[in-house]
Amino acid sequence: MRLVNTFAAAALATGLASAAFAQDPTKVGFIYVGPVGDFGWTYEHDQGRLAVIEEFGDAVETTFVESVPEGADAERVLRQMAQSGHDLIFTTSFGYMNQTMNVAKQFPDVKFEHATGYQRADNVSTYSARFYEGRHVIGLIAGGMTESNIVGYIGSFPIPEVIRGINSAYLAAKSVNPDVQFKVVWSNTWFDPALEADAAKTLIEQGADVLMQHTDSTAPMTIAEEEGIIAFGQASDQSSFGPNAQMTAIMDDWAPYYVSRVQAVMDGTWESTDTWGGIDSGMVAFADFSDKIPADLAEQAKAAADAIAAGELHPFTGPINKQDGSPWLAEGETADDGTLLGMNFYVEGIEGVIPN
């Protein structure tokens, strides 16, 4: 864990900042769960930070702290940021939720933006992307391309965000391939390349010829490339790790949101909001489709993405039963956001128990 840009705090302490500028630059802090060089989740958040600098130049000052464990450390880092005069702080992992709420209570004048969480306050907004829309699209490709009918899925923690992704991908895969089976392995970490690589190898040994992941490193993609199977990039375009293996990637694009929220703080119009952007808002995007995807399947996947963006297709459209066979959505019914945000069950057809 390293504090970057500490000079900002030093400048403030000596009172130089107020003397040098007619108006203080807006200070924006970011706290990341992994290293900025993970080429996945954290990398994309940092791209958002760079977009903020690009947009506002000298009018903003940004700070980031990377590889902050979810726990007491996060609270310490957040408090330090709040005390050193930050106006807006982005906390970019689900596990920072309680820490964000605690520190926000103590610093009512500082604005907080918590990614993928569900607790809000007057100075805490939440934002997330509808990754499950992306998972639907890659699920179609996975279902259409698997030959062993086994899709390996490396999950991180059994939280609604991850479970939703598994369900969405499975339903889509099953819609094009009724025999498809999902094997899910929980790694209980967001970032551990060696463990993720082992999980990928294990799944391949047990018959998976398509890999999906909801962890942040590029290790599974590297293994997929080595073993000659196909996989999907997570959070970021990972084709440099799997030029043959990557079919496409679900990419997170936080830049427009970050820029608009910093603008709101500058204008004094910032309010606590709850944003959940999907393919339509550009928050969820796709890397180039591989030419290994059969043309008609690629066509179908692209059409699905367009239909989701246009609001004509919802990845969770009934009839869908829960894993135990009890009905969840009736014919034509779509899932409401509340259920999706708290999703703690598999849909019918997925084997295995969600660890609790």
Partner 1 sequence: MDLSVVDPVALFVGLVAAATPLLFAAIGELVVEKSGVLNLGVEGMMIVGAICGFATAVKTGSPALGFVAGAAGGCVLSLIFGVMTQYLLSNQVATGLALTLFGLGISALIGQPFTGVKSPTMARLEIPVLSEIPLLGRLFFSYDIVIYLGIALVAAVWWFLKFTRRGLVLRAVGENHDAAHSLGYSVVAIRLAAIAFGGACAGLGGAYLSLARVPQWTEGMTAGAGWIALAIVVFSAWRPWRVLLGAWLFGGVTILQLNLQASGFLSWLQSLGIPAQAQYLSMTPYLITIAVLVVISADGSKARSNAPASLGRTFTGSG
- Do residues 222 and 240 make contact, with C-beta atoms less than 8 angstroms apart? no
**CA proximity to 119, closest of 140, 97, 91, 86:** 97
Q: Is 198 in the site for partner 1 (CB under 8 A)?
A: yes
Q: Is 138 in the site for partner 1 (CB under 8 A)?
A: no
Q: How many CA atoms lie within 13 A of 175 on its CB side?
A: 22
Non-local (6+) Cβ contacts of 329 within 8 A are 316, 317, 318, 319, 320, 335
Question: Token pair of 114, please?
Answer: 């918590």
Instruction: Output the smallest distance, CB 325 to partner 1, in A.
Output: 14
Sole binder of partner 1 in the list 188, 244, 273, 334 (CB under 8 A): 188
Q: Is 205 in the site for partner 1 (CB under 8 A)?
A: yes
Interface characters, 262-301, with partner 1 (x: CB under 8 A) = ----------------------------------------
φ, ψ (nearest 5 deg) of residue 244: -95, -30
Sole binder of partner 1 in the list 28, 30, 32, 39 (CB under 8 A): 39
Q: Is 240 in the site for partner 1 (CB under 8 A)?
A: yes
Size of site (CB under 8 A) for partner 1: 40
Listed ranges 24-32, 45-53, 160-168, 188-196: which one lies at the site for partner 1 (CB under 8 A): 188-196
Q: Is 245 in the site for partner 1 (CB under 8 A)?
A: no
Listed ranges 35-43, 100-108, 160-168, 303-311: which one lies at the site for partner 1 (CB under 8 A): 35-43
Decide whether 140 or 163 has the Cβ nearer to partner 1: 163
**How many angstroms separate the CA atoms of 247 and 230, rounded?**
7
**CA proximity to 170, closest of 352, 355, 356:** 352
Where helices occur in 206-276 by DSSP H, the ranges are 219-227, 255-267
Instruction: Output the smallest distance, CB 293 to partner 1, in A.
Output: 23
Interface characters, 45-84, with partner 1 (x: CB under 8 A) = ----------------------x-----------------
Q: What string of DSSP letters covers 63-111?
A: EEE-S--TTHHHHHHHHHHHHTT-SEEEE-SGGGHHHHHHHHHH-TTSE
Instruction: Output the smallest distance, CB 354 to partner 1, in A.
Output: 9
Q: Is 190 in the site for partner 1 (CB under 8 A)?
A: no
CA distances from 104 to 78, 111, 121, 270, 296 (A): 9, 8, 8, 15, 50
Show the 3-state SS of 174-191: HHHCCCCEEEEEECCCCC
Q: Is 353 in the site for partner 1 (CB under 8 A)?
A: yes
Listed ranges 80-88, 125-133, 192-200, 251-259: which one lies at the site for partner 1 (CB under 8 A): 192-200
Backbone conformation region of residue 332, classed left if phi is above 0, alpha if psi is from -120 to 50, else beta: left
Burial of 312 (0-12, 13-18, 19+ CB in 10 A): exposed
Instruction: Output the smallest distance, CB 211 to partner 1, in A.
Output: 12
Decide whether 80 or 317 has the Cβ nearer to partner 1: 80
Q: Is 189 in the site for partner 1 (CB under 8 A)?
A: yes
Sole binder of partner 1 in the list 79, 120, 201, 314 (CB under 8 A): 201
**How many angstroms separate the CA atoms of 288 and 295, rounded?**
14
Q: Is 34 in the site for partner 1 (CB under 8 A)?
A: yes
Instruction: Write out the residues near partner 1 by the rule CB under 8 A.
Output: 2, 34-35, 37-39, 67, 152, 183-186, 188-189, 191-195, 197-199, 201-203, 205-207, 217-219, 222-223, 226, 240-241, 351-353, 355
